[in-house]
Amino acid sequence: MLDAIAIQQAQERVVREVAACVTDVMEGEWGAREWKRIGLHAEIDTEGGRRISSQTSAIAAAPAQPLEDVDFRLSRAAKEALVALRETMREERGAWSSVLLTIEPSGRFSFDFSYEPPRRLAGDLLYSPLDGFLDRYKAETGAR
């Protein structure tokens, strides 16, 4: 039987670990930016070992600066939290293969799980669900 409390706790751990990574940017320095929304797309394949493909994005802005889409590194702890969440959820429907996570500064978050074969790990390196993340944020919020 599915343990809703264990899943909630595992999801909250993922959110904490991912949010803790946001300042470890791929290029340059985080500086005085504040994030407005975090996006993560991750695929996990545990057949014959463990492979994880992840894409990250933070919608952020420094004071008096325009919004920008900033890529950041996902820590080992965040990846381990994702694997733990997958294992916690395995009992009900089997292991999901990919997840799209959105985190708001308020602490609200949403997970969208897929049980389809992981596209990027299967070789479709052009597949990028976070493309247009900044534009979607602006359209939803009216931000500039």
Three-class DSSP category at 109: strand
Asked if CATH classification 3.40.50.20 holds for the domain at 4-141, the reply, yes or no, is: no
Span 95-141, pLDDT tens digits: 899 999 999 999 999 999 999 988 888 888 888 999 999 999 999 99
pLDDT digits (tens, 9 = 90+) for 58-79: 999 999 999 999 999 999 999 9
Does the global pTM surpass 0.85? yes
HSE, side-chain direction, 13 A CA sphere, residue 41: 15
pLDDT at residue 83, as a whole number: 92
Q: What residues does each domain of the chain span?
A: 4-141
**Which residue, among 93, 99, 48, 49, has the nearest Cα to 74 in the 3D structure?**
99
CA distance 55 to 89: 22
Check residue 92 and give its pLDDT: 74
Task: Give 15-39 pLDDT, tens digit per residue.
Answer: 999 999 999 999 999 999 999 999 9
C-alpha distances out from residue 62 to 1, 27, 66, 104, Å: 46, 15, 8, 17
